Amino acid sequence: MFGSSPVTVVITSEADTWDIDASSCLGCGQFVDWDRMPDSEQEACVPRDILSKPSKELKKLAREGYWAASRTLRAQVYHQLIQQVPCRLVTPDALVYRDVASRLFGKLSVSSHPLPEFLEACSMPTYCLNLEGVTALKKILICVGNLFPDITYSPILPSLVALLLHYSEDEAQCFENISRLIASNAPHTSYIDQSFLAHQASCMTFGDLANKHCPAAHKLIASTSENVFEVYSEWLSWLFHDLPFSYAIRVFDVYLLEGQKVLYRIALALLKQYRLSVTSAELEGTDIKADLQAFVQNIAEHVTVDKLLERAFGIRLFSRKEIWLLQMANRKALMERGMTMVQSRQSFHLAVDMQNFSSSIVTAQEMRIIWSWIPERFSLFPPLLLFTTSEDGCSLQRFYTCCEGYEPTVLLIKTTEGEVCGAFLSSDWSERKKSGATSGFFGTGECFVFTVRPETERYEWVFIKKPELAKAVPRSRQRSPSPSPTSLLSSSPDGCGTSSNRLTVPTPQRKGRLSPFLAIRHFLLPSKTASMFMAGSRGGIIIGGGGGQALSLDASLLWGRTEHCETFDNPPLCQENFKVQLLEVWGFQNT
């Protein structure tokens, strides 16, 4: 054997006996069972200069389905694009495959072959491959397991190999191409997750994006599923297992050109389409995970592949770098939870148990909805009560003492009228001390405000819904510290004054920390008042600013005010001037 990783022995039936021929060089398409293919690709005339076009034009052609016009064209494009992927210096190629396959399989024809352990519990779609194609698929995966012993979990790898086999001249070419995708070292991008840690981080990242870009679908899933994360953990399987071949191959077209970000787009488009096709009443008592899988498998009944891709590319995601930062933050959170690079799927559970949750303001079901809104890397951890006015008293100083050192936190307020609202606050309250006794606004674009009663609704940073309003900040640009918000807190008798146009954006985060997702310094904002997330002083606290404050509380924590603000574009969260009946702050255990 050429690798040290353990293997799983899979016994195949005699009908599935492999024809081991290490020197096989079948022509493109010879691995395909054409009788099972839905539609035959036409051999259209291909311009000779098609592959020399600029990247931007190639992306446009791929999105429009140009490669589908010719099997030969698609095969040539795939091979050339993958050959251009930057990868590690020592990456196995076709010659290595022929040598390793010859040594592993020889000329024997047997019905028992070891498969890599990373395929344990993973499905193996064959996408209309014939028997020789299925044999080639398994042989390639075995060689991958031997030459890439560091791979411990990669559920989409069989699907990608199967799709590539449709457009490969032989096994060796297919192996070389999949090896380059595995060994890619392009900055801020990844083609194939190769550990359970990386896979779970990408699932968490999808959950974060679904939370922000598909709020209606997310709310529906959170209200009908015990474990939202478990539903989102199948997002890659929707694309490279459940989608029909004619859809999956179009996804693969754009994936090779644009990387993993495009997979997020298409999965989000599927989620949006699913929400359009169901109602809450229909999902009562339904296994939503299975229902979503069935929906994707029958996607042709709901939307064409062209329309699906059109909707996917209409979703305005943040940059590849921002998504990469979020994925790295999720990986860090998983490692803090105890997950390792070699963690097996079966020995790790991420669900947060809300059964023992107890609050004087919200029910366990209401808290589960709020928890579903929180970035995935934090919602891994169960809620921890940090401060409550019923036990700690109505003291702002006590509030700061109990909350400092915890990041992030959830603020819950119940008014004397029975209304319930609150905020998710991404930064430690000790940030207010950075510029001395008083400080400006701080926090990140992950902050949001919400209502629970009488209606459940969330209001995010305005640039979540309108990212086109912000531009990336050049690396050399830095923001100056914010002026003090003290005047806002002392401009009226109850300490809840109106906004000042002298307030600017937050200061940069302290050095040495992983840059948080949606940090203000990553954006060039047209309005300084659209980034006022949280502020505190001896006079009280403010959440949201610009034209008003989403929430403001005085030093007694008894009186508050809520207004529309530019940061969250929210309506008043309850009666504009309110009296606090009870206030709680929740943190996250083990953070």
Q: Is the bond into 454 cis (omega within 30 degrees of 0)?
A: yes
Distance set, CA 565 to CA 211, 421, 459 (Å)? 22, 15, 11
User: The tokens of 481 are what?
Assistant: 């510290």
- The span from the CA of 299 to the CA of 45, in Å, is 30
User: The tokens of 249 are what?
Assistant: 């191959």
Tell me how far the alpha carbon of residue 77 is from its chain's centroid. 28
- The span from the CA of 210 to the CA of 219, in Å, is 10
Distance set, CA 304 to CA 70, 231, 244, 575 (Å)? 20, 24, 11, 46
- Structural contact between residues 59 and 257, judged by C-beta atoms closer than 8 angstroms: yes
Distance set, CA 82 to CA 68, 136, 144, 239 (Å)? 18, 20, 17, 20
pLDDT of residue 466: 66
User: The tokens of 20 are what?
Assistant: 């081991």
User: The tokens of 13 are what?
Assistant: 């039936």
pLDDT of residue 43: 55
- The span from the CA of 539 to the CA of 535, in Å, is 11
Name the nearest CA neighbour of 482 among 510, 441, 523: 441
* Other residues' Cβ atoms within 10 Å of the Cβ of residue 479: 17
pLDDT of residue 297: 95
Residue 244, class by beta-carbon neighbours within 10 Å (0-12 exposed, 13-18 middle, 19+ buried)?
Answer: middle
DSSP secondary structure letter of residue 169: S
Strands 409-415 and 471-472: unpaired
The pLDDT profile of the chain, 591 residues, written as one tens digit per residue, is: 344 333 333 333 333 443 333 333 345 788 888 888 876 555 555 566 676 788 888 889 899 988 887 888 889 889 988 998 888 888 899 999 999 888 888 765 434 567 788 887 778 888 999 999 999 999 999 999 989 988 988 999 999 999 999 999 999 999 999 999 999 988 777 789 988 899 999 999 999 899 888 988 998 888 888 788 889 999 999 999 999 999 999 999 999 988 888 999 999 999 999 999 887 667 667 788 999 999 999 999 999 999 999 999 998 887 788 888 888 888 888 887 777 766 555 445 555 566 778 899 998 888 888 888 888 888 878 889 999 999 999 999 999 999 999 989 999 999 999 999 999 998 999 988 875 434 488 888 889 999 999 999 999 888 776 655 555 444 444 343 343 444 444 444 344 443 333 333 333 333 333 334 555 444 444 455 556 899 998 899 999 988 899 999 999 999 999 999 988 999 999 999 999 999 999 998 764
Residue 4, class by beta-carbon neighbours within 10 Å (0-12 exposed, 13-18 middle, 19+ buried)?
Answer: exposed
Residue ranges in 226-259 assigned as alpha helix (H): 228-232, 235-237, 245-258
- The span from the CA of 361 to the CA of 412, in Å, is 7
Q: Report, in this order, helix, strand and coil percent for the chain, each rounded to 5.
A: 40, 15, 45
Distance set, CA 174 to CA 69, 194, 248 (Å)? 21, 18, 18
Q: Is the bond into 408 cis (omega within 30 degrees of 0)?
A: yes
**Amino acid in position 371:** W
* Other residues' Cβ atoms within 10 Å of the Cβ of residue 229: 19
Q: Is 482 left (phi over 0), alpha (psi -120 to 50) or beta?
A: beta
Distance set, CA 303 to CA 129, 209, 504 (Å)? 26, 22, 45
- The span from the CA of 192 to the CA of 200, in Å, is 13
- The span from the CA of 185 to the CA of 530, in Å, is 37
Query: For the chain, how far is it from start to end, CA to CA, in angstroms?
Result: 43
Name the nearest CA neighbour of 202 among 316, 326, 345, 348: 326
Q: pTM for the complete prediction?
A: 0.76
What phi and psi values does residue 127 have, to the nearest 5 degrees? 45, 55
What phi and psi values does residue 156 have, to the nearest 5 degrees? -90, -5
Name the nearest CA neighbour of 142 among 116, 181, 176, 165: 116
CA atoms lying within 13 Å on the CB side of residue 139: 34
pLDDT of residue 10: 35
CA angle (51, 57, 62) in 5-degree steps: 75
